[in-house]
Structure 1
Amino acid sequence: MQFTEQQKQLINLHYIHPVPYNKFQLLVQENSFLDGMEAYSSDYLKQLLGLSEEKAVRFKEQYMEVSKLPLIDLLQQINCTPIPYFHPDYPEELKQLCDPPAVLYVKGNQSLLKKRLRVGIIGSRKATVYSKKALDFIVPPLVDQKIPIVSGLAAGADTMAHQAAMHFGGDTIGVLGHGFSYMYPKKNERIAQEMAENHLLVTEYPPYIPPAKWTFPMRNRIISGLSSAIVITESVERSGTMITVEHALDHGKEIFAVPGAIDSPLSAGPNKLLDEGAKPLWSGFQIIDLLQ
Structure 2
Amino acid sequence: MLNNLKEILSFHYVYPLPLNKFHILMKSIESMHNLVNTSPAKLAKILSISTKNADSILLKYQKVLDIDLVDVYHSNSIRAIPYNSEFYPESLLDLIDPPTFLYAKGNISLLKQPRKIAIIGSRKATKYSGLALEYIVPPLVEQNIVIVSGLAKGADSLAHRSTIQHGGKTIAVLGHGFNHLYPQENKELANEIGQGHLLLTEYPPYFGVQKWQFPMRNRIISGISNAIVVTEASLKSGTLITTEHALEHGKDIFVVPGPIQKEQSKGTNSLLREGAIPIWNGYQIIEELKLF
TM range (shorter): over 0.9
CA offset at residue 31 of structure 1?
4.0
Tell me how far apart the structure 2 counterparts of residues 7 and 290 of structure 1 sit (CA, whole Å).
Answer: 41
**Contact 1:24/1:49 (CA < 8 Å) preserved in 2?**
no
Tell me how far apart the structure 2 counterparts of residues 64 and 188 of structure 1 sit (CA, whole Å).
Answer: 36
- Which residue of structure 1 lines up, in the alignment, with residue 143 of structure 2? 145
Deviations 1:202-239 (A, max 9, x none): 00111101111111111000000011000000010112
CA offset at residue 288 of structure 1?
1.0
Instruction: Give the residue type in structure 1 aligned to 2:89.
Output: P
**Contact 1:257/1:270 (CA < 8 Å) preserved in 2?**
yes
- Which residue of structure 1 lines up, in the alignment, with residue 108 of structure 2? 110
Instruction: Give the residue type in structure 1 aligned to 2:288.
Output: L
1:285 aligns with 2:283: yes
- Which residue of structure 1 lines up, in the alignment, with residue 187 of structure 2? 189
Moved more, 224-233 or 66-75: 66-75
CA offset at residue 138 of structure 1?
0.4
CA offset at residue 271 of structure 1?
0.4
**Contact 1:123/1:234 (CA < 8 Å) preserved in 2?**
yes
Tell me how far apart the structure 1 counterparts of residues 31 and 113 of structure 2 sit (CA, whole Å).
Answer: 30
Aligned residues: 290
Instruction: Give the residue type in structure 2 aligned to 1:280.
Output: P
* TM-score computed with the length of structure 1 as normaliser: 0.97
Tell me how far apart the structure 1 counterparts of residues 229 and 7 of structure 2 sit (CA, whole Å).
Answer: 37
- Which residue of structure 2 lines up, in the alignment, with residue 229 of structure 1? 227
Tell me how far apart the structure 2 counterparts of residues 54 and 22 of structure 1 sit (CA, whole Å).
Answer: 23
**Contact 2:6/2:68 (CA < 8 Å) preserved in 1?**
no
Residue 26 of structure 1 aligns to a residue whose secondary structure is: helix
* TM-score computed with the length of structure 2 as normaliser: 0.97
- Which residue of structure 2 lines up, in the alignment, with residue 37 of structure 1? 35
Tell me how far apart the structure 1 counterparts of residues 28 and 85 of structure 2 sit (CA, whole Å).
Answer: 20
CA RMSD of aligned residues (A): 1.1
Deviations 1:71-94 (A, max 9, x none): 111111111111111323211011
1:247 aligns with 2:263: no
Equivalent of residue 270 in structure 1, options 268, 271, 282: 268
Structure 1 portions without partners, runs of 5+? none
1:7 aligns with 2:5: yes
Equivalent of residue 52 in structure 2, options 27, 31, 54: 54
Residue 256 of structure 1 aligns to a residue whose secondary structure is: strand
CA offset at residue 8 of structure 1?
3.0
Tell me how far apart the structure 2 counterparts of residues 7 and 73 of structure 1 sit (CA, whole Å).
Answer: 12
Instruction: Give the residue type in structure 2 aligned to 1:9.
Output: E
Tell me how far apart the structure 2 counterparts of residues 8 and 164 of structure 1 sit (CA, whole Å).
Answer: 39
CA offset at residue 33 of structure 1?
4.0
CA offset at residue 32 of structure 1?
4.7
Q: Percent identity?
A: 50
Deviations 1:257-280 (A, max 9, x none): 000000100000110000110000
CA offset at residue 173 of structure 1?
0.2
